[in-house]
Amino acid sequence: MDAIEVIVAKRDGHELTTAQIDWVIDAYTRGEVAHEQMSSLAMAILLNGMNRREIAEWTQAMIRSGERMDWSMLERPTADKHSTGGVGDKITLPLAPLVAACGAYVPQLSGRGLGHTGGTLDKLESIPGWRASLSNEEMLAVLREAGAVICAAGSGLAPADKKLYALRDVTGTVESIPLIASSIMSKKIAEGTGSLVLDVKVGSGAFMKTVERARELAETMVALGSDAGVRTVALLTAMDRPLGKQIGNALEVEESVEVLAGGGPADVVELTVRLAREMLEAAGVSGKDPEQALKDGSAMDAWRRMIAAQGGDPDAVLPRAAESMTVDAPESGVLTTLDAYAVGLAAWRLGAGRARQEDPVSFGAGITLHAKPGDLVRAGQPLMTLHADETARFARALDALEGGYAVGPVSVEQLPLVIDRIG
């Protein structure tokens, strides 16, 4: 078998055989298939798609390229959650300890931000001493100590996906639903969780801009999880406006702690509780309700144990940006628009994100929102505060916000926070 045979088959719209899929994934991981050949195949998949069998076998081949974790020795069921990413999406931070406080173990492998979407590991690394890289033995120890662990995936987990994702990022093939779905699910299935809840974002600040595309991706991933024996459900949730009121690494940690303390913005609390209930149901765990765990302090206790078990100081003062400036309402009325992508891009330009994986982030940089769509505002009232380490960053952030917010006489209809449930 050779790479050209596989490329031509998909280029001409044919189904790939099991043997072709197994061979090309293994050969690419070993370096026998060149990057330019795999990029050609990825483009053919983007243009011609894959059916359910092909996607399932592609996913399994990527899982077999590395190790598969096993949590069967744990005394309680395991549940995990994955978000497709957005602006202000800090839900993993309060969600993992909340679900742990309600009776399930949460082995959460997370990633870093790139572009306008933030990364869970970058947020947590703003806590002094906290470690993202753990061995499998350390993950198990943290799980038993705190009930939840949030850390980076090891190099042995689906290495084919790590290599292919980097290639897709520079060849214009990121948007392929078969490749997105298999990328996410190969890691989540290999992670060994017993159940999985997917948060598929919809809107300007997400990869999926329309409900139709998001639903297609969600249905594909739910089918992959089900085929692999992992109970999987998905929620389609809004990302046409930012989630919560804080965007940026340390800022989002602060807001997450507010939620765990029984406060925080209504949308963050609502989505955290809804996802927690879905995770507990998928894991078959009944008992304490997530709302009660936020009120009685048990979720906060789990958070403090989790952070401390990974070397962090839950009482440490978080980083602050050196400079700030406010953006005021241009007139009185209703804040009708607050575009998630514009706000995310502005936060990225302030230093909260990175353009390349190797770039550093500014932990204190970001944006604090003082109003959300539908709120009444007065002319001159602060709409948001920008935070950066250098004043030179403000001009480019303001450029990104141009046209990204508007004040008018009446509210504009928005997507509901939870649009649909699949699975």
Q: Give me the CATH number covering residue 195.
A: 3.40.1030.10
Do residues 144 and 190 both lie within one domain? yes
Given a contact cutoff of 8 angstroms between Cβ atoms, the answer to whether 407 and 331 are in contact is yes
Q: Quick one: which of 319, 286, 365 has its CA closest to 118?
A: 365
Do residues 92 and 158 both lie within one domain? yes
Do residues 111 and 205 both lie within one domain? yes
**Catalytic status, residue 168:** yes
Catalytic residue among 161, 199, 240, 267: 161
Model's pTM, two decimal places? 0.94
Do residues 105 and 229 both lie within one domain? yes
Catalytic residue among 10, 81, 82, 162: 82
Instruction: Give the per-residue pLDDT at 83.
Output: 96
Instruction: Give the per-residue pLDDT at 115.
Output: 73
70 inside domain: no
> Per-10-residue mean pLDDT for the chain, 423 residues long?
96 98 97 96 97 96 95 95 95 98 96 82 97 95 97 90 87 91 95 96 94 97 94 97 98 98 97 98 93 97 98 97 98 97 96 81 97 97 98 98 96 94 95
Catalytic residue among 83, 176, 182, 183: 183
Do residues 270 and 161 both lie within one domain? yes
Distance of alpha carbon 104 from alpha carbon 297, whole angstroms: 17
**Catalytic status, residue 256:** no
Given a contact cutoff of 8 angstroms between Cβ atoms, the answer to whether 347 and 365 are in contact is yes
CATH of residue 363's domain is 3.90.1170.30
Do residues 109 and 143 both lie within one domain? yes
Do residues 284 and 352 both lie within one domain? no
Catalytic residue among 162, 168, 274, 393: 168
Q: Which domain holds residue 183?
A: 79-309
Distance of alpha carbon 302 from alpha carbon 285, whole angstroms: 17
In angstroms, the Cα distances linking 110 to 34, 191, 399 are 28, 11, 31
Q: Go through the chain and tell me how many residues it has.
A: 423
**Catalytic status, residue 82:** yes
60 inside domain: no
**Catalytic status, residue 64:** no
Provide the CA 4 distance to its chain's centre, in angstroms: 35
Do residues 303 and 358 both lie within one domain? no
End position of a domain, from candidates 253, 286, 309: 309
Instruction: Give the per-residue pLDDT at 163.
Output: 92
In angstroms, the Cα distances linking 332 to 13, 356, 381, 404, 408 are 56, 40, 9, 17, 8
**DSSP code, position 244:** S
Instruction: Give the per-residue pLDDT at 155.
Output: 81
The first and second tokens of residue 279, run together, are 């995770």
The total of structural domains in the chain comes to: 3
The first and second tokens of residue 1, run together, are 């078998």
Do residues 248 and 195 both lie within one domain? yes
Instruction: Give the per-residue pLDDT at 411.
Output: 87
23 inside domain: yes
**DSSP code, position 103:** T
Do residues 203 and 120 both lie within one domain? yes
**Catalytic status, residue 387:** no
Do residues 154 and 254 both lie within one domain? yes
Do residues 181 and 282 both lie within one domain? yes
Catalytic residue among 81, 187, 304, 387: 187
